[in-house]
Every structure is written in structure tokens, then in C-alpha cells.
Amino acid sequence: MSEPTFATLVSRWYEENARDLPWRGPDVSPWAILVSEVMLQQTPVVRVLPAWEAWLARWPEPAALAADSPAEAIRMWGRLGYPRRAVRLRDCALAIVERHGGQVPDRLDQLLALPGVGTYTARAVAAFAYGQRHPVVDTNVRRVVCRAIAGEPDAGPATRPADLVATEELLPVEPAAAALASAAFMELGAVVCVARSPRCGVCPVESVCAWRASGREAPAGPTRRPQRYAGTDRQVRGLLLGVLREATGPVPHQRLDQVWADDVQRSRALAGLVRDGLVEPVGESSFRLVGDGPPVPVG
DNA sequence: GATTCGTGGTC
DNA sequence: TGACCAAGAAT
């Protein structure tokens, strides 16, 4: 008998220790999995849980969401952050209806062509919803592979093609086992091989970890610029959208003016929300979430 | 490739 | 307490 592979070690650990997340259930639809993946883009699991349940209770399939307004999608999105994802997810539902008869496609190229679906999400759906063999590399997998295999403290900020190659080489040949291994890598990175204080004492691959062997050196070089928030356009956008989200229908600009004193920055933020398809002008002096009521007369 | 894009929790 | 972080995508 040969030594168990890296994927086998992590998969065994996963089967004993995985969190009981609802989108991992046996009867979860590809649509529900797609929704979970989009919500989980940069948003912690604990905040996604209730939003995912509510979203699918209201829109159990793509056609239902496609038939509703962007405004309702934005409201249901709540405070998950990056609300453009809500609009894109609805655009995605429209595309699924128009291009694929309302069924989430199972081909990687078709998934990638959907709004709001990038390299990670397309592969995650293909693997977790359809059991295909694709490397699925998110920030967790990237960190696990960089540390345990390459022996490096951490990876760069974005997933690179090399990360996909390195991960693919770890996957079992059999597709279902490969999909399980991908979920296991993600879980390990999310729960054990975490960014700040990795729990090497309970790690299933501690004995073969290259980073561990090298003494767990800290990341080198200048740390990347921290993402500040206070005072940015993002904060102003969030404040503006908060008012529009709580309102029903158009809001006079005077009310929006109250959320931020700087006219220039406030106007820029509002224009950005309009450009991004989140907000639309109504008449000369009001704004609303896109589609939040009857169509705006043109001309 | 570097930026932009929310929100809230942790240490 | 403010820096850091959380299943990325689009430009």
C-alpha cells in the first residue's frame, strides 16, 4: 500500500469534520448552489445562511427571479454587501431563462458566460452541482495549496492560472472524488488553515505540510494596501442605497442629500449607483431602486 | 495587473 | 481601536 494522497487525507478529514451547511445537502438544486456561491463571494458564511434561505423561498428557480424586479432583488439582498451582485444574479437568472430554458447550464464555458459568474463560481457550480472534475480555487484553496504544497506563507491577492494547475494536480481522477476533495480543500482553508492563526495542531496534513516543515515563515514583502472604508465612495453608496432600500418607490433627492455633506462625492456616488444599474432617476428630482414601480416615462 | 465594489466581525 | 479579513467579478 502506498501512502494516502494529500487529497485523500483532506477528504477523510472533511467527511468527519465538515460543517453542516444547507447548500451541501443531497437534494440541493444547481440554482440553489449557484445562489450560495454568489452570496459567498466576499461575504462570511454566517451572514449568508439566513439570506440564502429567504432568497430561495421567494425565488426557488431562475424564472421566478427573472420575472421580478431588480428593486426586489436588491431589497432581498439586504446587507450582504456588494449589492451589484443582486442585480447581476437577477441578470444571470434572465440569461439562464433565455439561453438555457430556465435550467442552470452544466458546461463550464456556458457558466462562465453568465453575469456575475467568474472563474471560481463557474467551477464551483460545475463541481458541486454537477459533480464534474475541475479545480475549484478560492482564497481558501489558494492558501492551503500555497502553504502545504509550495511551502510559501501565502499567495497573491488574486487567483492565477498557476493556482488552478497546482490544484488540479492534487485532484483524484474520479470526478465525484475530485469534487469532494475540492470541497474539502475549501473547508480546510476556512476552518483550520485560516489566514491569521492557523490551527496546525488539528490539521490532517500537518505531517506533510511544506509550510510547517519550513517553520511557518511569515509573509514577506510589503503587506498590500488595507482596504479602508470610512470616507470612501463605497461608504456613501452604501448610505444612499440604505435610504432607497428602506423606501417604497421614488425618494426626493433632498432626502438623499442628507446622508452625506460633500456634494461632489455624493453626486459621484449616486451617479455610480445609476451606472451600475442599481438606481434610476424618476422625473427631475427623485430616485428609486431600478424597477421599483411602474416604468419611468421616456422622452 | 491594479482598482473598484459593502458590510460587519475579530483581535 | 484600527487594521485585517470574509467561498470574487468586472473593468
Catalytic residue ranges of A: 37
Question: Which DSSP string do the residues of chain A spell out, in sequence order?
Answer: -PPPPHHHHHHHHHHHH----GGGSTT--HHHHHHHHHHTTTS-HHHHHHHHHHHHHH-SSHHHHHTS-HHHHHHHHTTSS-THHHHHHHHHHHHHHHHHTTS---SHHHHHTSTT--HHHHHHHHHHTT--------HHHHHHHHHHTT--S---SS--HHHHHHHHTTS-SSHHHHHHHHHHHHHHHHHTS-SSS--GGG-TTGGG-HHHHTT-PPPPSPPPPP---TTSHHHHHHHHHHHHHHSSS-EEHHHHHTT-S-HHHHHHHHHHHHHTTSEEEETTTEEEETTSSSPPP--
* Strand B proximal to A267 Cβ, under 7 A: no
Same domain, A252 and A282: yes
Residue A76 lies in a domain: yes
Q: How far is the CA of A44 from the C1' of B8 (A)?
A: 9
Same domain, A47 and A135: yes
Q: What is the CATH number of the domain that holds A267?
A: 1.10.10
Same domain, A23 and A71: yes
pLDDT for A176-211, tens place per residue? 999 999 999 999 999 999 998 999 999 999 999 999
At A223 the pLDDT is 59
Residue A34 lies in a domain: yes
pLDDT for A93-147, tens place per residue? 999 999 999 999 999 999 999 999 999 999 999 999 999 999 999 999 999 999 9
Domain span at residue A127 reads 6-213
Measuring from the CA of residue A195 to each C1' atom, give the nucleotide at the shortest distance.
Answer: C5
Same domain, A120 and A67: yes
pLDDT for A83-107, tens place per residue? 999 999 999 999 999 999 999 999 9
Same domain, A116 and A189: yes
Q: How far is the CA of A261 from the C1' of C7 (A)?
A: 37
Among chain A residues 22-41, those with CB within 7 Å of any atom of strand C: 23-24, 36-37, 40-41
Q: What mean pLDDT value characterizes chain A?
A: 94
At A243 the pLDDT is 98
Residue A47 lies in a domain: yes
What total of structural domains would you count in chain A? 2
Strand B: which positions are within 7 A of a protein CB?
A: 1-8, 11
Residue A296 lies in a domain: no
Indicate whether A222 pLDDT > 60.
no
Same domain, A68 and A172: yes
Same domain, A249 and A163: no
At A154 the pLDDT is 77
Q: How far is the CA of A104 from the C1' of C3 (A)?
A: 40
Residue A87 lies in a domain: yes
* Strand B proximal to A79 Cβ, under 7 A: yes
Same domain, A204 and A174: yes
Measuring from the CA of residue A81 to each C1' atom, give the nucleotide at the shortest distance.
Answer: B6
